[in-house]
Amino acid sequence: MYAAPGLSITARDAATGASIQGNDVRVILSAERQADTTRSLPASLAYESPGTYTVVLEVPGYLRWERTGIRVRADQCHVKTVQVTADLRREG
- Is the separation of the CB atoms in 14 and 91 below 8 Å? no
Which domains does the chain possess? 7-88 (2.60.40.1120)
Task: For 11-57, give the secondary structure using H, E and C.
Answer: EEECCCCCEECECCCEEEEECCCCEEEECCECEEECCCCCEEEEEEE
CA distance 10 to 7: 10
Closest CA to 18 of 89, 91, 92: 89
Q: Which is more confident, 28 or 5?
A: 5
Task: For 64-82, give the secondary structure using H, E and C.
Answer: CEEEEEEEECECCCCECCE
In the chain, the percentage of residues whose pLDDT exceeds 90 is: 70
User: pTM of the entire structure?
Assistant: 0.87
**pLDDT value at residue 92:** 87
pLDDT per residue over 44-58, tens digit each? 999 999 999 999 999
pLDDT per residue over 9-42, tens digit each? 999 999 999 999 988 888 888 877 667 778 889 9
